[in-house]
Amino acid sequence: MHMRLPVLTPIVTRLQRWSVLDDQDREAILSLPHVVRDLAVHEHIVREGDRPQYSCLLLSGYAYRHKVAGNGGRQIFSIHMRGDLVDLQNSLLKTADHNVQALTKVEAAFIPVEAIKTLAFERPSVGLGLWYETLVDASIFREWTLNVGRRNARTRTAHLLCELALRLDWEGLGSRDGYELPMTQEELGDALALTPVHVNRTLKALGEEGFISRTRRSVTIADWEKLARVGDFDTRYLHIKDALPVPA
């Protein structure tokens, strides 16, 4: 049996992007009550209309937020990965207004919302970090609205591939040059507000133009900067440059 980092360590790492934590802050985060659970593909983390009692930290795997319109169309708002506090948006408000679901098999820590709220106001550095996390989420939602509303299929698709590349890179889970993309073309369609058929054609075109190559569930990006130009991608909305340097 070897040494193992406390389960909630990713929260510390994450919040240190936005505020300076002292030992007590870190200690308080790591000792938050929590339960670790495995979720199957497509399992719901929260359902629209729920009154969530827990917030959820992704320890491995991917999840996504989405909502379904009256005509049956589904819109995905964001993709989440290890280290994301995937349910602050819903759990802090009383009633969940959207669904969060596992995209792949997921390992997640569930933390009582009340404990998080209490901690947020007992320890302002922690609270500020959590608030920032929700604000950066909101920035991503805005960019997706722009993407879906004002960019054509090619640009839109390239934009999504760039965002994932960058976030996975930032999180230390992949690189800008390529990554495992555990989404079907139907799911990509729901994120891009395109039909799966058109996603297929668009990916094919991006491939033929030499911007990407792909296998069933992974993407290779030939030249990130070039793809970013195709995708009208500006990193600002991710607030990477606003983040603090990683502490030693």
Closest CB 194 distance from DNA, rounded Å: 4
Number of residues that bind a second copy (CB under 8 A): 50
- The full DSSP string for 91-139 is HHSSS--SEEEESS-EEEEEEEHHHHHHHHHHSHHHHHHHHHHHHHHHH
Per rule CB under 8 A, is residue 71 in the interface with a second copy?
yes
What does the binding site for DNA look like in residue numbers (CB under 7 A)?
A: 152-154, 184-186, 193-198, 200-201, 203-204, 216-217
Q: Does 44 bind a second copy (CB under 8 A)?
A: no
For residue 198, give every residue at least 6 positions away whose Cβ sits within 8 Å of its Cβ, in sequence order, or none.
153, 189
Instruction: Give min distance, CB of 100 to a second copy, in A.
Output: 12
**Residue environment code for 178-207, b if the CB has 16+ CB neighbours within 10 A, otherwise e:** bbebebebebbbbbbbbeeeebeebbeebe
Q: Are the beta carbons of 172 and 248 closer than 8 angstroms?
A: no
Q: Which does 163 bind (CB under 5 to 8 A by kind): DNA, a second copy, none?
A: none
Q: Is position 43 an interface residue for a second copy (rule: CB under 8 A)?
A: no
Tokens of 96: 């969940």
**Contact letters (x/-) for a second copy, 192-221, by CB under 8 A?**
-x----------------------------
Least distance (Å) from DNA to the CB of residue 196? 6
Report the alpha-carbon angle 181-182-188, nearest 5.
Answer: 80
Instruction: Give the binding site for a second copy (CB under 8 A).
Output: 48-49, 65, 67, 69-71, 73-75, 77, 89, 92-95, 97-98, 117, 120-121, 124, 127-128, 131-132, 134-139, 141-146, 148-151, 155, 193, 232, 236-237, 239, 241-242
